[in-house]
Amino acid sequence: MMVRCTAALFLLALSIVSVADGRHDFLNLPSEGRRLFGTPPVGAYDDSAATKWAVLVAGSNGYENYRHQADVCHAYQILKRGGLKDENIIVFMYDDIANNVENPRPGVIINSPHGEDVYKGVPKDYVGEDVTAHNFFAVLLGNKTALKGGSGKVVDSGPNDHIFVYYADHGAAGLLAMPAGREIYADELINVLKKKHASGTYKSLVFYVEACESGSMFEGLLPEGLNIYATTASNSEESSYAIYCPGYDPSPPPEYDTCLGDTYSVSWMEDSDSHNLQTETLKQQYQLVKNRTASQDPDLSSHVMQFGDLKLSAETLSVYMGTEPSKGNHTTAYDNSPSHLSGVVNQRDADVLHFWYKFRSAPEGSAKKFEAQKQLALAMAQRTHVDSSIQLIGKLLFGIEKALKYNSGRFEIGFLVKRIGNFYCKPFRLLPVDNSNIFRFLSAVAVSLRDIITEIWNSLVEGPLYQALKSSEPSAQHSSRPKIHT
C-alpha cells in the first residue's frame, strides 16, 4: 500500500511541476504515466523494433530516359531525409545520366524545372549490367547467394519490418522493362511476393509502379492477405505520362532537351516533400496523386490504380518513408497549382520528343546535328516498320475487317497480344484450369509472335535505312544497336 501511495504522489508531483513551468495548460493524470515514462499504451503495437527497408529501381538507360533515374534519385532523397539508413535503401540504376556527355549539368540530376540536385549521395548498389530482373528478385527475397554483381545489399528484413518498393521505367501488358537481361514478368513478380510473404520476413509492403500498362502487373494477380498494398501509374490498358518536357508547360530549363520526370512519380514525391509524413496516409496520397495524374482530356492522362490489401492505405507515409516531417520550405511546380495537370507527354513519345529537340538545337552542318537526325529518323522508322508489321499480323489473325477495327486510333502491341487471348479463348481469368489444348495453342501463338517480332527487329537494324545512315556518319566510331522498349 505504501508503494502505491508513493507512486501516486510522485505522478501528481510531476503533473503539478509540468503546469508550474508552463509546459502544459492541463493537468497530467496518473493514467498518462505511460506517456511520461515513454512506454506505449496497453494494446498498442510497439513499432520501435521495426526496420524500414526500401528498394528503388530505374529500369531504363539512355539519356532520352533521363526522367526514370531522376525519379529514383528523388525518391532516395525523400527516404534519406525521412531517416532511413543507406544500409536499408537499395538502389538499382544504370547510372549513365549524371555524367553523360549530353547532360548540361555534369554530375547533377534534377527532377523538376527548379529542383535541386537529387543525384548527390545516392548509393550505387546495382548499376550498369547488374540492373537485372534476376538481381531485383534476389534482393527482394534477401537471397545474397543468388546475386550476380552489385554491392551485395539485400532486403534482410524481419517479421516486424516494413518494405517500400518503387519502380520507374517503361512497361507493357504484363511486364516491366529492365536495361540489362530480360524483363520482369507479372506472374514471376507475384510469385516472388508470395514467396517473400511465406518467409514471414516483413510486416507490410508498399509497392509504387510507374510504367505504361502498370496495372497489369497486379490486376487479377495480387491476392489479398499478403499484407501488400500497390499503386500504379496507369491501368492495364493505357500509357503513363512524362512531365517537365521541352516545349511544354511547365518546361525544363532551356538547356535541357529531355523530360525531367513522370507525372505519377513526381506527384507522389512532391506531395511527400511538401506534407507531413507522420500525418498523411497512403490513402490520402493515393487520392491526391490520382487527381493530379488525371486530366480533363482522356487522351492525355492515365488512371492511377490501387491493388492488394487496401486496409494498409490507412497507415501514414512515415511507416515506409520515415518520420521526418516537411520543413515547409520545399517549393515545387505543384504548389498552388490546379489539381489536374497539363503539359504531359505520352511515355512512348518522350524519346522522339528528345531526339527532335536535340536535332533542332544542334548547329547546322555539325556532327551533333547529323547524329540527332539519325536518331530521330531511326526512331520513326522503327515505329513505322513495327506498326505496319503488327497490322499485317492482325489481319492474318483476325481478318481485314476486324483488324481495321482494332487498329483504329492508337495501336499498341500490348493491346493486340491481349486481344489474341480474348478473341480465341475468352478472357484469361475465365479459362478452365484443365483446358490444356487452349494453353498449348496460346503458347504457340506467343512463340510465333516472339519470332516474328525478332525477325522484324533484325530486318530493321540490318536493313538499308539503318545501314545507309550508319555508313554516312561523319565519325568513324559507330554506336551499338540501341535497346528499344515498347
Specify whether 170 is catalytic.
yes
Query: Residue 209: helix, strand or coil by DSSP?
Result: strand
- For residues 261 and 252, is the Cβ–Cβ distance under 8 A? no
- For residues 142 and 156, is the Cβ–Cβ distance under 8 A? yes
How far apart (Å, rounded) are the C-alpha atoms in residues 274 and 47?
Answer: 25
How far apart (Å, rounded) are the C-alpha atoms in residues 147 and 90?
Answer: 13
Work out the widest C-alpha separation in the chain, in whole angstroms. 98
How far apart (Å, rounded) are the C-alpha atoms in residues 464 and 456?
Answer: 13
Task: Tell me if the bond preceding 250 is cis, omega within 30° of 0.
Answer: yes
**Crossing angle for the helix pair 413-425 and 367-398, nearest 10 degrees?**
10
DSSP string over 235-258: -TTS--EEES-TTSSS---TT--S
Among 68, 74, 212, 354, the one annotated catalytic: 212
How far apart (Å, rounded) are the C-alpha atoms in residues 290 and 319?
Answer: 21
Angle, CA 380 vertex, CA 377 and CA 385 arms, to 5°: 115
Query: Residue 2: helix, strand or coil by DSSP?
Result: helix
How far apart (Å, rounded) are the C-alpha atoms in residues 431 and 410?
Answer: 28
- Please, which residues bridge with residue 201 across strands? none
- For residues 291 and 340, is the Cβ–Cβ distance under 8 A? yes
Grid cell in block for residue 179? 536495361
Residue 442: HSE in the Cβ half-sphere, 13 Å Cα cutoff: 18
* DSSP letter (8 states) at residue 281: B
Which residues touch 329 (CB under 8 Å, ≥6 apart)? none
Specify whether 354 is catalytic.
no
Which burial class, exposed, middle or buried, applies to 54 when counting CB atoms under 10 A from its CB (0-12, 13-18, 19+)? buried
State phi, psi for 366 to the nearest 5 degrees. -85, 160
- For residues 96 and 58, is the Cβ–Cβ distance under 8 A? no
- For residues 116 and 253, is the Cβ–Cβ distance under 8 A? no
- Please, which residues bridge with residue 308 across strands? 229
H-state helical runs in 105-163: 133-141
Grid cell in block for residue 130? 547488374
Q: Is 408 left (phi over 0), alpha (psi -120 to 50) or beta?
A: beta
Among 74, 170, 354, 485, the one annotated catalytic: 170
Residues with a known catalytic role: 170, 212
